[in-house]
Amino acid sequence: MLNVDLHCHSTVSDGTLAPAAVAARAKANGVDIWALTDHDEVDGVSEARAAAAALGLQYVAGVEISVTWASQTIHIVGLQIDETNPELVQGLRVTRGGRERRAHEMAAQLATAGIPDAFEGALKHVGNPDLISRTHFARYLVEIGRCADTSEVFRHFLTEGNPGYVPHRWASLEQAVCWIRDAGGVAVVAHPGRYKLSDLAFDAFFSEFKQLGGVAIEVMTGSHTPDQYAYYAKVAANYGFLASRGSDFHSPAESRVDLGALPPLPDSVTPVWYNW
Ligand code: AMP
Ligand code: MN
Ligand code: MN
Ligand code: MN
């Protein structure tokens, strides 16, 4: 059976390994088909593709787009994209655009909470100045000993109701799916188990996603529990979605699930890679 990992991050967004190092780790872990899916950014694609080719690893160009839907942040993964597509490139540039100002607001809130200089501190962890994210702030709070690890940070800071949380308007669902499709790619709902939506809202969301031309959801992801593997396999069957598998690996020190290490997709679903 093929080991397929279609979701992970490099220093081009909020991962700690460069694209070529992520490729090497995927290969070492036995991955056969691999996609790098940095947040709102395709700058790592050429390095990732070249590294994968040198390793004999089948590479799929990818991205993870931040979307605001019904006031919630939702992530949409695009796979098999042409990363040079002008609409996609421009759309991602606009989506990244507000991050720096948001980061200054996050730092101002943290300063009020007794943590000064967090913008400069987070910046030390940033690999791509265009993509400062909450993860970089989380690493700074761990660095200064404020929290033991990044998951503790997200329980006390940077999330709704906590210091350092700044609501942000990302791309619309329609924009994200259209950019991915215009670039010849397939749109996949990332880690559906993470969104706090009622059953009714989830139904509206999946229906709209499907109507826009979205084709798959992540069933096996580092964010899901075993119960959620089974639950989202059923959701995929109910809506006629293909199923994806991706660790969402960010860092050897932080990620619960390593590249290629998830269980295989259940037999009941059709893999998103079935015709690749
Ligand atoms: P941003 O795009 O700046 O809002 O940052 C989102 C990133 O923060 C996600 O892609 C994760 O890498 C990280 N993140 C968000 N919530 C958590 C959490 N509860 N635990 C660990 N990482 C998180
Ligand atoms: Mn991330
Ligand atoms: Mn995500
Ligand atoms: Mn991700």
What confidence tens digit (pLDDT) does each residue in 87-107 have? 999 999 999 999 999 999 999
134 lines ligand 1 (CB under 6 A): yes
Q: What is the rounded CA–CA span in Å between residue 263 and residue 229?
A: 9
Tokens representing residue 163 in the block: 């210091």
* Mutation test residue for ligand 1: of 134, 147, 149, the one with most atoms within 8 Å of CB: 134
Report pLDDT for 155.
Answer: 98
Model confidence pLDDT, tens digit, residues 132-160: 999 999 999 999 999 999 999 999 999 99
State residue 24's pLDDT score. 99
User: Which pLDDT band holds residue 126 (cuts at 50, 70, 90)?
Assistant: very high
Find out whether the beta carbon of 150 lies less than 6 Å from any atom of ligand 1. Answer: yes
Task: Return the pLDDT at 80.
Answer: 98
In order of their start, the domains of the chain are: 4-93+171-246 (3.20.20.140), 99-156 (1.10.150.650)
Q: What is the structure's pLDDT at 180?
A: 99
Q: What is the pLDDT of residue 206?
A: 98
CA distance 171 to 226: 31
- HEC secondary structure over 13-66: CCCCCCHHHHHHHHHHCCCCEEEECCECCCCCHHHHHHHHHHHCCEEEEEEEEE
Percent of the chain with pLDDT over 90: 100
pLDDT for the residue numbered 67: 98
* CA 17 to ligand 4 centroid distance, Å: 14
Q: What percent of the chain has pLDDT over 70?
A: 100
Cα-based distances in Å from 76 to 20, 126, 138, 147: 23, 22, 23, 30
66 CB under 6 A from ligand 1? yes
Residue 6 Cα to ligand 2 middle (Å): 14
119 confidence band (pLDDT: 50, 70, 90): very high
Among 9, 77, 19, which residue's Cα sits nearest to residue 49?
Answer: 19
**Residue environment code for 193-214, b if the CB has 16+ CB neighbours within 10 A, otherwise e:** bbbebeeeeeeebbeebbebeb
Does the CB atom of residue 244 touch ligand 1 within 6 A? Answer: no
3-state secondary structure of 83: coil
Closest C-alpha to ligand 1, atom 9:
135
Q: Which residues contact residue 93 at a Cβ distance below 8 angstroms, ignoring those fewer than 6 apart?
A: none
Neighbours of 267 (CB within 10 A): 6
Ligand 2 geometric centre to CA of 254 (Å):
11
Per residue in 252-266, pLDDT (tens digit) is: 999 999 999 999 999
pLDDT value, residue 90: 98
Distance CA 66, CA 32 (A): 27
CA of 135 to the centre of ligand 1 (A): 6
- In whole angstroms, give the CA distance from residue 257 to residue 5: 11
Confidence of residue 270 (pLDDT cuts 50, 70, 90): very high
133 Cα to the center of ligand 2, angstroms: 8
- In the block, residue with structure tokens 């694209």: 19
Which 3 state secondary structure label does DSSP give 119? helix
Strands 58-69 and 33-36: parallel
Write out pLDDT tens, residues 162-221.
999 999 999 999 999 999 999 999 999 999 999 999 999 999 999 999 999 999 999 999
| Mean pLDDT across the chain | 98
pLDDT at 66: 98
Ligand 1 atom nearest 14 alpha carbon: 12
Alpha carbon separation from 193 to 49, 56, 79, 196, 219 (Å, rounded): 30, 33, 20, 8, 9
Residue 231's pLDDT is what? 98
